[in-house]
Chains A and B, each alone.
Chain A
Amino acid sequence: MKPIVSDLGDLSNDEIRRYGRHLIMPEFGMEAQRRLKASSVLIVGTGGLGSPLALYLAAAGVGRLGLVDYDIVDESNLQRQIIHGQSTVGVSKTESAERRLNDLNPFLEIVRYDVPLTSDNALEIIAPYDLVIDGTDNFPTRYLVNDACVKLGKPNVYGSILRFEGQLSVFYAQEGPCYRCMFPEPPPPGLVPNCAEAGVLGVLPGTIGTMQATEAVKLLTGIGDPMIGRMLLYDALEVSFTTIKVRKNPKCPVCSIPADQVELIDYEEFCGVPAHDHAPAEALSTAEEAFDADAPVPQITALALKARLDQGESPVIIDVRNPPELEIAALENTVLIPKPQIMIAVDEVLSGRKPIEDTVIGQIPRDREVLFLCRSGVRSTDVIYALRDLGYHPASLINVEGGILAWAREVDASMPMY
């Protein structure tokens, strides 16, 4: 394919020395390096995928990198987000990344966008770039990035990861399919867990992000065959790489219509989930009000629970986390029923396939108050809503506010947080 960057930048002698390993390859040479120098890449998300992406593209000699992220660096990011470090915990991710990238390559120009990418600002942010790389962590932003790229005629280097699996492709509507050709609609909310809930091997974004960076360099310089019309599926446990075909959908709701008629929509509404993979308290309370304003989930704080336990009470506490999480931190005398098991059982009961007493829900009493606990209070809230559909009285199902993290913060400072 011909390079998407037609301009050739000028390289100083210092830059020529720096990029020598590129320049001596006949397939690459001065021309490709000068194209990289003239190129601009927007990286959406400076997290797991964005870290290796930004590092390698900066090192390789891309002229201008735009970084979109409104998050701040947290210690729990450092298991995989290697562009950040202990010294930048608490700093905005784009600033943290900028510091590292300036150290890696002083010839690089960096533009920071400390805002969420939304339907209102996406076109303006994306327009000045040659290429976009999707390193986000949620469905609404992925559909937004795709639709905006189709509208603006930009290639979108896609990477996505979960647990031990990754996907890689290049969506470029002018040359092949777009993301919506493969995934016209998002899965229903709740079916596909995010990394915050299901976990991810810390090395995996390194594998996929690095391959996204490779695809970006190929597209910008016109070397090799980009992953347009194909998707790579990587399974880290099996070490299997499988390539499948992605066809352009002639009825694609986005890339089959003229680009100027593509409209950016409300992607959170379209996907039914918020545009991030964590749930701050205010988002949670909004979700509750939207579900049933008259019956918000009753909450108990960690301190209030501690006080009740100290007084000798022994409430039923159901821990809905997954077993590996209990090995990190747990309360005593709780009943473990992981959320996925409860959700399956709710479905079995509602569809009439099984009576309640034959499922795990049979262990959850109806005649008294039951407390639900997870890591941060999100999954336990989901479980409570699901159980209400089975006729549990709303007042009897109580959420431990902030989950085991709140317990670690407010009650037991020796407990690890994760």
Chain B
Amino acid sequence: MPNIRIPTPLRAFTSNEAQVQVGGATVGEALSNLTVRFPELRQHLYDGETLRSFVNVYLGDEDVRFLDGLETNLEEGDSLRIIPSIAGGAG
């Protein structure tokens, strides 16, 4: 199953799990399954049916927007990563 890495700011919505294994043949299916398992995540990732503009999802080292977006095919053991927008500089 694909593996999704959850960034720190969103772990509050995944019972503090940093990595989540979910089923799904495409990026969209995997993210959708993720939000079924953790419903609180949905509003942070999606605006209706599309990903919010500040949510960056990467497959390997590539932004899925530059692959096939939510239609991008996933293979067994693929690693998805949600890249958070963080601003801390420890002022």
Contacts and interface: CB of A to CB of B under 8 A. Distances in A.
B86 A276 contact: no
A15 interface: no
Given A48-B89, A137-B91, A277-B91, A344 B8 contact: no
A160 B87 contact: yes
A105 interface: no
Interface residues of A, number: 56
Given A247-B63, A247-B66, A353-B39, A184 B90 contact: no
Contacts of B7: 165
Contact of A71 (B8, B39, B87, B91): B91
Interface in A176-215: 182-187, 191-195, 198, 200, 202, 204-205
A52 B85 CA distance: 23
Contacts of A182: 56, 83
What does DSSP make chain B's interface, helix, strand, loop or mixed?
mixed
B87 A245 contact: no
Contacts of B66: 245, 247
Contact of B89 (A184, A205, A278): A205
Given A185-B53, A187-B54, A160 B89 contact: yes
Interface in B62-91: 62-63, 66, 81, 83-91
A164 B62 CA distance: 23
A200 B90 CA distance: 7
Contact of A48 (B12, B53, B91): B91
B8 A165 contact: yes
Contacts of B90: 47-49, 80-81, 137, 161, 195, 200, 202, 204-205
Contact of B91 (A162, A183, A244, A276): A276
A186 B54 contact: yes
A159 B87 contact: no
Given A183-B54, A348-B40, A193 B89 contact: no
A7 interface: no
A307 B81 CA distance: 52
Contact of A186 (B13, B81, B85): B85
Nearest to A340: B12
Contact of B54 (A71, A137, A142, A184): A184
A108 to B, nearest CB: 22
B77 to A, nearest CB: 16
Contacts of B8: 162-165, 198
A196 to B, nearest CB: 8
Contacts of A159: 89
A244 B9 contact: no
A274 B27 CA distance: 35
Contacts of A47: 89-91
Nearest to B79: A242
Given A191-B9, A347-B43, A142 B87 contact: yes
A81 B86 CA distance: 19
A49 B89 contact: yes
Contacts of A71: 91
B61 interface: yes
Contacts of B44: 191
B45 to A, nearest CB: 11
B88 A160 contact: yes
A243 interface: yes
A48 B90 CA distance: 5
Nearest to A181: B63
A98 to B, nearest CB: 18
**In the complex, the 6 A-B pairs of residues with the closest C-beta atoms, listed nearest first:** A48-B90, A137-B91, A195-B88, A47-B91, A137-B89, A162-B86
Given A161-B89, A195-B88, A244-B61, 18 more contacts: A71-B91, A134-B89, A136-B87, A136-B89, A137-B87, A137-B88, A160-B87, A162-B84, A163-B8, A183-B85, A231-B83, A242-B61, A247-B63, A277-B91, A278-B91, A344-B12, A344-B40, A348-B39
25 contacts: A45-B89, A45-B91, A49-B89, A49-B90, A71-B91, A80-B90, A81-B90, A139-B85, A160-B88, A161-B90, A162-B8, A182-B83, A183-B85, A184-B54, A185-B54, A186-B54, A187-B9, A192-B86, A195-B90, A195-B91, A198-B9, A233-B83, A242-B81, A245-B61, A278-B91
